[in-house]
Structure 1
């Protein structure tokens, strides 16, 4: 006889071992039956009868033959439930045959999405190189170089946004700009929907009515002419349809926009960032694409401003300054609090606060060509102008280094105009150019308050969404968010720098 292996069988075995000998003793031994023996024997007989009755009785669950197929699971109450497939699909409930259905137990799993760190980001995506067809084939007419340029372009063209050296490889495929004389078929058909999207009752508060009008002009106006500019970047001038009298700074009788390369798309981001920070020093910029320009790739277009002061062809600046002279005038705080500077201070007409605004703006976007044209404050890459082969970095004597693209307006020499605002979003945090902040002891309160408010992302999303072509060219919200990630991280670094150096935060509303 084998030893029982379950608790219930063990109990039955123990009771039987006690009862059976007593029953046999009652029936085999002839002696008087006492009441005690009679009761005990009766109880044992009843228990044995109960055991015999259970021998042939088997539960239907144990009598059922094992089913082929996947095994069912049981919950704590013994009720079977369906396994949830890993692919997220769920079969319909099974019919039980009695009018009811077996409902599965569903477990809801929430996966917390982890935001990936910003990857190596370029401000724009380099367009694919496609076979270029002559522009004459589009119009079936001869294209010729411009005999002359509109009045007002001679001095400012090189200063235009526009004249520092760039990577030659990036310039390939931009093509030689030509001009088509007054062709009506050059105009684009007007569309009922503007490329500047404003779905609320008013535009964001940081954009003025003039900004919105300028953006709509650049994005939606028909193009009447394309003119070449004498600059190394191959920038072109779009003559837009419309009368510029009392409306727009013009390059003749019509408003104009400066058309740049697809790789300069960060100019559009720079415009919106400038307005959100309350600096208001850039020119309105939008993204625009056309079938006869760069195979339809989006390009930045900046509103042409003929009121800019004439610039030097070497430095592309209306203010001639070396790095040493710049550091000296920062110490003198020229024109601050309305006091006139002394002659020996070496001040220019530019107000002291303008340098603080420019340094903050350039640091966030890592624009180096104004204050660090030789790339002495960071490790340049081959994409940077000073990282190209054959370019010698002159970082031994910084005091003689000349500042570039420092431009004012003719009628307003106290304030700067930020031009050529190509930023770099793929500069790593351990390679940021802190030389741009050297000598700056005060920062604009309006800009710093925005950086501290934690609303920079929200405002940039609202503002950049207005430009439909730019939004789509950067990959929609997902692409825009990656660019904002970079700016937010640089903003945190800048705020840490301000606190660590004890710099003052002042209102600069002059």
Structure 2
């Protein structure tokens, strides 16, 4: 049965081959050539179809990737409907495209900050009244020279205000095209409808004003024995809280910013670090270029806060007077802890106990010594440091009587500190850190320490600093910012080791 079935199936093939053999040689060659041509055409058509199908899949993948790129958001989730209605965390994007900030999983070699960033060069000038007056004259002299107003005259006396009209100095953009470009493109780069969660809507609003507001007036003001301030008044809509301070209406009638020297760029980094750690004790700061100041170099601009001068400019900032010995005593007594009023003879200041812990952590990461260690008693200073030039370093023999400086609070809020004049140092090695800043500290804020432990400090700082395009570019872009963060990360590791070695408690501080 099987043999007959196979014979029946093979019979047509055998008959066809027998007929093919009886054909002449020429006809057989023609048939073979025709079959080869048909087979070749079939193979070519199949290869073309496969290539076309592959191209379509590639186009679909590109479209899918682009669609995901432009939907990138800083937040982990889409904005809620409640947020859109209240506007609590909703911001208007300033850019339409998106730039990825990628993080390397492991750095091969840590950046050496000493080989990449030069130490700050400080002029050897004495901090006296005459020196401050000369410094302010140089600043306004730059204004007059760049504006072409050689006949501009002003009075420089303590307590008086020098007022420079923006229009009279002819400080305008170089061309109408530049003015249009500046009005449409903000130096604050926000690509999504949500800014990083550690920046409040008020922070974003203040940053945009400081970076993009049209300068209407420049003022040089003097306050007490401190160096004078260079303040610009900008054009901004909406109500401003500073207007309620009638005593200071002659300083800033609207919304203003304080212009610092280009060497004080740490103010901008300090602002973002403060927000990332959740301390919220610094004033908003951005980097901005002024064509009529410092040859167009980027300058730190800090938000003006009139509440820091509750009794007027003549009285100066609202400062806490405290010596090092009294400060250590207040740390032991935990003043104002659990809202309990200290005894009248306790020597406690008006500052809450938790504020000192936040200040110590913040100052240690940035190595700011002009508050708790003005005399540079906790590290080896250099000859060009201010404490050596002014002879303060010699006072370390009697440390208990050294006066703390720059301890500032708002007039209506004496319990909380405001971190101003944040001049940090990135060129100080780990073997010369100022541990005096942590002396007497037995507790640290949990939120800030958790950020240091989470290994996400670099990611958050990159996202935050990337918003300020002028500062980002002035530090050398991603490469320069990474070197600065390298320093903070190494100090954070030293701080975490210090916490474990000294048994410092990490607690929640909601005061």
Please give the TM-score of this superposition, normalised by the length of structure 1.
Answer: 0.67
Aligned twin of 1:301: 301
Q: What CA distance in whole angstroms lies between the structure 2 residues aligned with 1:255 and 1:390?
A: 39
2:80 is aligned to none
Give 1:223's aligned residue.
215
Query: 1:481 maps to which residue?
Result: 482
Counterpart contact for 1:315–1:405, Cα < 8 Å: no
- Indicate conservation of the 8 Å contact 1:256/1:304, yes or no: yes
- Report the more deviating stretch, 337-346 or 218-227: 337-346
Q: 2 CA distance for matches of 1:427 and 1:307? A: 34
What's the CA shift for 1:180? 3.9
- Asked whether the 8 Å contact 1:457–1:484 carries over to 2, the reply is yes
Contact 2:277 2:447 in 1 (8 A): yes
1:432-470 residue CA offsets vs partner (Å, 9 max, x unmatched): 000000111000011000000000000000000000000
1:55-70 mapped onto 2 (5 Å cutoff): none
Q: How has the CA–CA distance of structure 1 residues 123 and 474 changed in structure 2, closer, same or farther, with 3 Å as cutoff?
A: farther
The aligned residue for residue 283 of structure 1 is 283
Aligned equivalent of 1:179: 164
Tell me how far apart the structure 2 counterparts of residues 224 and 330 of structure 1 sit (CA, whole Å). Answer: 46
Residues 367-416 of structure 1 deviation map (CA, whole Å, 9 limit, x = unaligned): 00100110000001134211337665210111110000111111111100
Query: Are 1:240 and 2:234 matched, yes or no?
Result: yes
Q: Which runs of 5+ in 1 are unaligned?
A: 1-111, 158-176
Following superposition, the deviation at residue 181 of structure 1 comes to 6.2
Give SS of 1:307's match. Answer: helix
**Residue 306 to residue 123, structure 1, CA distance change in 2 (3 Å):** farther
The Cα shift of 1:345 comes to: 1.4
Q: How many pairs does the alignment contain?
A: 372
Question: Quick one: structure 1 residues 228 and 309, their matched pair in 2 at CA, closer, same or farther if it must change by over 3 Å?
Answer: closer
Q: How does 1:241-260 map to 2 (within 5 A)?
A: 241-242=235-236, 245-246=239-240, 251-260=251-260
1:378 paired with 2:379, answer yes
2 CA distance for matches of 1:326 and 1:134? Answer: 42
User: How far does residue 234 in structure 1 lie from its aligned partner after superposition?
Assistant: 5.8
Match of 1:361 in 2: 362
Shift of 1:246: 3.7
Quote the residue 2:147 is aligned against.
139
Kindly state the Cα deviation for residue 185 of structure 1 after the two structures are TM-superposed.
3.5
Partner of 2:187: 195
Match of 1:302, SS state, is strand
- For 1:181 and 1:458, locate their aligned partners in 2 and report how far apart those are by CA, in whole Å: 40
Contact 1:183 1:224 (8 Å CA) reproduced: no
TM-score by length of 2: 0.67
Which residue is 1:270 aligned to? 270
Partner of 2:413: 412
Mapped partners of 2:265, 2:238: distance in 1: 26
Task: Give how far 1:341 is off.
Answer: 1.2
Aligned equivalent of 2:92: none
Conserved 8 A contact 1:365-1:424: yes
- Compared CA separation, residues 137 and 505, structure 1 to 2 (3 A): closer
In 2, distance between residues paired with 1:416 and 1:406? 7
1:467-495 deviation per Cα after TM superposition (whole angstroms, max 9, x unaligned): 00000000000000000000000001001
Q: Deviations over 1:210-245 (max 9, x none)?
A: 000000000000111111133765641111123573
Measured after TM superposition, the shift of residue 183 of structure 1 is 2.8
Give RMSD over aligned pairs: 3.0
- 1:24 aligns to what? none
CA–CA distance in structure 2, aligned partners of residues 125 and 435 of structure 1: 22
Higher radius of gyration, 1 or 2: 1
